[in-house]
């Protein structure tokens, strides 16, 4: 007998009970409830939520007047200042898609992105005029319109656009009605992966994911209301892990930062009472090693979120001594930034520093609004046992996973094969359900048929008192197939030798895992502070 479901009769969606999820709603609410609260601090300039809303509305209107409509791309090459913050609302309010470009890229990479994204208007901060100009020239007749950003607190570089961002805003109407998405699945932003090999891929985010991750950040990090957030993390990196939208949802304050420098960061913490910021471990390391005078005088609790590598014990200790609390997270461009968090348990506070560092080194568990996280066999998608030793690939699914790669259905299909997003990262699953990354698939070194985790070797190297940074890659070897080769930078004045470091490794791990070669020198890094192993892999071929 057919079962009649009484709950499916005459209970459909309508404009009274259904609205497409979009983070633009957070801005509208922040501006209407707290119009006079400070939304943005940029040096001596402050902008309220009411003013920020009006500026974003004008921005959207100006874009529409400039012929920008739904599905068009608006690109930015800018530091973490007002224009890019406002673009996170103003661009989608015009129906268009925001593409924030990594400012460390070379002209060729920028040109590729502008072409692939079919950018209609490009906003360029004066600091990046030179590289942007070269990229634009490469595009020939397909070049976008260019608007420059003339930051009143920065004088270097050039103004290469047809007008300034402020003049562009002035062409918009303050009473323009923002265009809200009809479908929460509509694109809101486009972020290109760093592309260690081949061309970068364009990761598309939608309004639904941006809305949900904004609030997942707030819950996961226990941010409370009105957080004061400093932009140490680039907004071109997964839209600043979605924090522009989180700040609207929590009615917080966005503190701009053009250059990531210890003095500027400590000044902002003290003067603007910053209580939240994100950064790669290298940023924490820099803060930790700063002058005692800079560090003195912080009276309030500061929370730091870090990703990209596990924070070493010495960094955690240094941060704790300043009253900073460090949360370790993990994610990818494809997952709106971090969607895995090392959720802390109160009872862990009692443990020793070493033990706390070990626990905090783990990437953790899914964030509050992510749905699925597993470590599984990459071929069968069979979850591995939660034994802390069996390695598998990290798979993620849920509402905090990208819409897909722009104009690249094959890559999207591969990434989503089997109904899970394939991260390419290798990890173990601990008995308590926390994951711990052991390596990128391509960073595994296979020596004499045995797998060697380059991360494991690096962990030992970091424990050597004279090593400041280390990265291990595979070196081709006739006999063993591959052997571990370590690139190491040492502390100032250190006289440590290759042989001493190799011996230290042999004393602290299985001998076959110890590096056979040590190369001393500075390590190449991406704009977000990640060591560029692909550069080292090139170098290793010439050794």
Residues 24-83 that bind its own copies (CB under 8 A): 25-26, 29, 32-34, 69-71, 73
CB of 251 to its own copies, least distance (A): 9
Between 248 and 455, name the residue whose CB sits nearer to its own copies.
248
Between 199 and 354, name the residue whose CB sits nearer to its own copies.
199
Q: Residue from 106, 320, 371, 538 that binds its own copies (CB under 8 A)?
A: 371
Between 187 and 505, name the residue whose CB sits nearer to its own copies.
187
The helix (H) or strand (E) run that includes residue 360 is helix 353-360
CA distance 80 to 78: 7
Question: Of the ranges 57-65, 100-108, 392-400, 497-505, which one interacts with its own copies (CB under 8 A)?
Answer: 392-400
User: Is there binding between residue 140 and its own copies (CB under 8 A)?
Assistant: no
Main-chain phi, psi angles of 313, to 5 degrees: -55, -40
CB of 90 to its own copies, least distance (A): 18
User: Is there binding between residue 97 and its own copies (CB under 8 A)?
Assistant: yes
By CB neighbour count within 10 A (0-12 exposed, 13-18 middle, 19+ buried), where does 210 fall? buried
Question: Of the ranges 10-18, 169-177, 303-311, 519-527, which one interacts with its own copies (CB under 8 A)?
Answer: 10-18
Question: Of the ranges 104-112, 122-130, 407-415, 477-485, which one interacts with its own copies (CB under 8 A)?
Answer: 407-415
Do β-strands 73-77 and 450-453 pair in parallel, antiparallel, or remain unpaired?
unpaired
Between 132 and 204, name the residue whose CB sits nearer to its own copies.
204
Answer yes or no: are the C-beta atoms of 490 and 498 closer than 8 Å: no
User: Could you tell me which of 427, 531, 517 has the C-alpha nearest to residue 480?
Assistant: 517
User: Is there binding between residue 492 and its own copies (CB under 8 A)?
Assistant: no
Between 301 and 451, name the residue whose CB sits nearer to its own copies.
301
CB of 314 to its own copies, least distance (A): 27
CB of 429 to its own copies, least distance (A): 12
CA distance 62 to 124: 17
User: Is there binding between residue 292 and its own copies (CB under 8 A)?
Assistant: no
Concatenating the DSSP letter of every residue in 126-175 gives GGGHHHHHHHHHHTGGGPPEEEEE--TT--SS---SSSBHHHHHHTS-TT
User: Is there binding between residue 352 and its own copies (CB under 8 A)?
Assistant: no
Q: Residue from 1, 16, 141, 292 that binds its own copies (CB under 8 A)?
A: 16
CB of 457 to its own copies, least distance (A): 30
User: Is there binding between residue 543 and its own copies (CB under 8 A)?
Assistant: no
Answer yes or no: are the C-beta atoms of 229 and 254 closer than 8 Å: yes
CA distance 429 to 389: 7
Residue 491 has which token pair? 């502390």
Between 161 and 338, name the residue whose CB sits nearer to its own copies.
338
Give the list of residues 6+ apart from residue 100 with CB closer than 8 angstroms, or none. 75, 76, 78, 84, 87, 189, 191, 235, 236, 239
Answer yes or no: are the C-beta atoms of 92 and 243 closer than 8 Å: no
Between 388 and 448, name the residue whose CB sits nearer to its own copies.
388
Between 111 and 519, name the residue whose CB sits nearer to its own copies.
111
User: Is there binding between residue 13 and its own copies (CB under 8 A)?
Assistant: yes
CB of 511 to its own copies, least distance (A): 38
User: Is there binding between residue 401 and its own copies (CB under 8 A)?
Assistant: yes
CB of 99 to its own copies, least distance (A): 11
Residue 214 has which token pair? 């904004």
Q: Residue from 42, 303, 403, 530 that binds its own copies (CB under 8 A)?
A: 403
3-state DSSP assignment of residue 73: strand
Residues 248-277 that bind its own copies (CB under 8 A): 249-250
Between 237 and 397, name the residue whose CB sits nearer to its own copies.
397
CA distance 541 to 473: 11
Residues 169-228 that bind its own copies (CB under 8 A): 185-187, 190, 204, 215, 218-219, 222, 224-226
User: Is there binding between residue 368 and its own copies (CB under 8 A)?
Assistant: yes
Concatenating the DSSP letter of every residue in 212-252 gives HHHHHHHHHTT--SS-EEE--S-TTSHHHHTHHHHHHHTT-
Q: Any idea what the Cα angle at residue 84 is, between residues 369 and 156, rounded to 5°?
A: 145
For the chain, the maximum distance between any two Cα atoms, rounded to a whole number of angstroms, is 84
User: Is there binding between residue 407 and its own copies (CB under 8 A)?
Assistant: yes
User: Is there binding between residue 19 and its own copies (CB under 8 A)?
Assistant: yes
Strand partners, 203: 191, 405
Residues 100-139 that bind its own copies (CB under 8 A): 118
Main-chain phi, psi angles of 213, to 5 degrees: -70, -30
With CB under 8 A as the rule, give the number of residues binding its own copies.
71
Q: With the C-alpha atoms ordered 277, 282, 285, 287, is the resulting torsion angle positive or negative?
A: negative
Residue 370 has which token pair? 């992510």
User: Is there binding between residue 345 and its own copies (CB under 8 A)?
Assistant: yes
CB of 72 to its own copies, least distance (A): 8
Between 307 and 402, name the residue whose CB sits nearer to its own copies.
402
């Amino acid at each position: 007998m057919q079962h009649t479901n009484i709950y499916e009769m005459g209970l459909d969606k309508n404009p009274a009970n259904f609205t497409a999820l979009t983070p633009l709603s957070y801005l509208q609410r922040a501006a209407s409830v707290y119009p006079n609260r400070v939304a943005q601090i940029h040096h001596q300039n402050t902008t309220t939520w009411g003013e920020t809303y009006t500026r974003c509305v004008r921005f959207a209107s100006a874009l529409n007047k400039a012929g920008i409509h739904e599905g068009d791309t608006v690109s930015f090459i800018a530091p973490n200042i007002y224009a890019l913050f406002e673009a996170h609302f103003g661009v989608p309010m015009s129906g268009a898609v925001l593409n924030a470009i990594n400012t460390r890229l070379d002209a060729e990479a920028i040109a590729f992105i502008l072409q692939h994204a079919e950018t209609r208007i490009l906003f360029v901060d004066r600091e990046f005029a030179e590289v942007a100009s070269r990229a634009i020239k490469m595009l020939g007749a397909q070049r976008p319109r260019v608007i420059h950003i003339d930051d009143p607190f920065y004088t270097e570089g050039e103004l290469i656009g047809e007008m300034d961002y402020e003049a562009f805003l002035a062409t918009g109407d303050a009473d323009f009605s923002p265009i809200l998405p009809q479908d929460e699945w509509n694109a809101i932003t486009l972020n290109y992966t760093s592309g260690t090999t081949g061309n970068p891929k364009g990761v598309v985010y939608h309004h639904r994911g941006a809305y949900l991750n904004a609030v997942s950040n707030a819950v996961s990090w226990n941010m409370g209301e009105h957080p004061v957030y400093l932009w140490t993390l680039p907004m071109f990196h997964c839209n600043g892990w979605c924090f522009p939208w989180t700040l609207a949802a929590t009615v917080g304050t966005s503190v701009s930062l053009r250059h990531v420098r210890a003095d500027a960061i400590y000044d902002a913490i003290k003067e603007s009472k910053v209580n939240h910021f994100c950064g790669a471990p290298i940023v924490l390391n820099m803060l930790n090693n700063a002058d005692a005078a800079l560090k003195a005088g912080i009276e309030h609790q500061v929370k730091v979120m870090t990703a990209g590598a596990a924070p070493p014990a010495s960094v955690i200790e240094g941060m704790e001594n300043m009253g900073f609390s460090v949360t370790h997270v993990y994610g990818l461009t494809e997952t709106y930034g971090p969607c895995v968090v090392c959720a802390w348990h109160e009872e862990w506070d009692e443990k020793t520093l070493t033990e706390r560092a070990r626990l905090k080194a783990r990437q953790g568990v899914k964030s509050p609004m992510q749905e699925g996280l597993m470590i599984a066999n990459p071929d069968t998608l069979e979850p591995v046992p939660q034994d802390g030793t069996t390695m598998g690939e990290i798979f993620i699914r849920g509402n905090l996973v990208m819409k897909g790669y722009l104009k690249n259905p094959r890559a999207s299909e591969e990434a989503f094969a089997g109904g899970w997003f394939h991260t390419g990262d290798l990890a173990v699953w601990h008995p308590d359900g926390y994951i711990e990354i052991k390596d990128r698939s391509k960073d595994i070194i296979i020596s004499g048929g045995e797998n060697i985790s380059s991360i494991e070797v690096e962990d030992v190297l970091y424990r050597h008192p004279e090593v400041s940074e280390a990265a291990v890659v595979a070196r081709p070897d006739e006999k063993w197939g591959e052997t571990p080769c370590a690139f190491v930078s040492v502390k100032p004045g250190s006289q440590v030798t290759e042989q001493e470091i190799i011996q230290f490794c042999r004393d602290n791990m299985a001998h076959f895992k110890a590096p056979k070669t040590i190369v001393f020198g500075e390590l190449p890094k991406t704009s977000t502070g990640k060591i560029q192993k692909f550069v080292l892999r090139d170098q290793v071929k010439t050794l």
